């Protein structure tokens, strides 16, 4: 157990360091041991696990269609398959108290987590303080464990699924600043509508900002070069890497019909 915690502690510190090298950190988003190994063999020093592709790989639904145990089962298989830091999407926390969430995530071998403010199981968006308080409680639990868990605090202020804001950009800044103050090490505004809004967010927030990008065509947020030029510190792919592979898989098997 001591060796496991030492390994997790070291990987958490390494993941945090990778956010502050001055280079844009790309964490390809994987869903199983096979995709994780492929990413590491390509040379990436860390990776991310997305709830959407993980759920798809299990035949379950995203948006908390999995239980925490379902998600941790997938995360555990991935962390066991590779020897690099892994950060994992735990949606809104699956209605789990912060201390328990941290304990179970670390036990599964993940050293970073995405935590969003949409609570799908309850059909609502957390208010600013509620989400910041949860992020702060996670930070406190990780610090008590002596692990620099990289909390990537996500806001769905741009989505408008449960609440529509008059000024989504200002609301995103308000929410993410509160999360930074609560102890998030990175923040994640989902579905930023344009480059101008992205640049505003980067200017208004103090820590690293995570952006979702398409790995092939530059849609969603822009190309790798454009995102680097804008000053984006961290890029993940969400479900887009898995989706981009689908036509290629169809192309490979279709001649065998």
Q: Indicate the DSSP class of residue 152.
A: E
- The C-alpha angle with vertex 88 and arms to 87 and 94, in degrees rounded to 5, equals 145
Q: Which residues contact 224 (CB under 8 A, 6 or more apart)?
A: 24, 26, 213, 218, 235
| Helix (H) / strand (E) containing 215 | none
The CA distances from residue 114 to 92, 102, 152, in Å, are: 8, 12, 5
Report the distance separating Cα 36 and Cα 75, nearest Å: 10
pLDDT score recorded for residue 219: 76
C-alpha dihedral, 73 to 240 to 20 to 182, nearest 10°: -60
Q: Are 58 and 66 contacting, i.e. CB atoms less than 8 angstroms apart? A: yes
Report the distance separating Cα 70 and Cα 104, nearest Å: 12
In order along its 257 residues, the chain shows pLDDT tens digits of 445 578 999 999 999 999 999 999 999 999 999 999 999 999 999 999 999 999 999 999 999 999 999 999 999 999 999 999 999 999 999 999 999 999 999 999 999 999 999 999 999 999 999 999 999 999 999 999 999 999 999 999 999 999 999 999 999 999 999 999 999 999 999 999 999 999 999 999 999 999 999 999 877 788 999 999 999 999 999 999 999 999 999 999 999 99
Instruction: Provide the 10 A C-beta neighbour count for residue 250.
Output: 9
pLDDT score recorded for residue 4: 56
| Domains of the chain, each with CATH number or no CATH | 2-250 (3.20.20.60)
Q: Are 194 and 220 contacting, i.e. CB atoms less than 8 angstroms apart? A: no
Beta bridge partners of 114: 89, 152
């Amino acid at each position: 157990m001591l060796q496991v915690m030492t390994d997790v502690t070291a990987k958490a510190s390494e993941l945090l360091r990778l956010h502050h090298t001055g280079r844009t950190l790309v964490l390809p988003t994987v869903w199983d041991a096979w995709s994780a190994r492929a990413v590491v063999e390509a040379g990436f020093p860390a990776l991310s696990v997305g709830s959407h592709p993980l759920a798809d790989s299990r035949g379950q639904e995203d948006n908390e269609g999995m239980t925490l145990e379902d998600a941790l089962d997938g995360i555990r298989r991935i962390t066991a398959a590779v020897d690099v830091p892994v950060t994992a999407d735990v949606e809104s926390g699956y209605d789990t108290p912060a201390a328990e969430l941290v304990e179970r995530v670390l036990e599964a071998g993940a050293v970073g987590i995405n935590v969003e403010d949409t609570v799908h199981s309850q059909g609502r968006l957390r208010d600013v303080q509620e989400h910041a308080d949860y992020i702060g409680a996670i930070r406190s639990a990780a610090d008590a464990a002596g692990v620099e868990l990289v909390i990537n605090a996500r806001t769905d202020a741009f989505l408008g699924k449960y609440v529509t804001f008059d000024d989504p950009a200002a609301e995103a800044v308000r929410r993410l600043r509160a999360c930074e103050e609560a102890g998030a090490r990175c923040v994640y505004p989902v579905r930023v509508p344009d480059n101008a809004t992205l640049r505003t967010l980067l200017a208004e927030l103090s820590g690293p900002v995570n952006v979702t990008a398409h790995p092939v065509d530059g849609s969603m947020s822009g190309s790798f070069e454009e995102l680097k030029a804008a000053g984006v510190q961290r890029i993940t792919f969400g479900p887009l890497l898995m989706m981009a592979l689908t036509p290629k898989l169809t192309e490979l098997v279709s001649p065998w019909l």
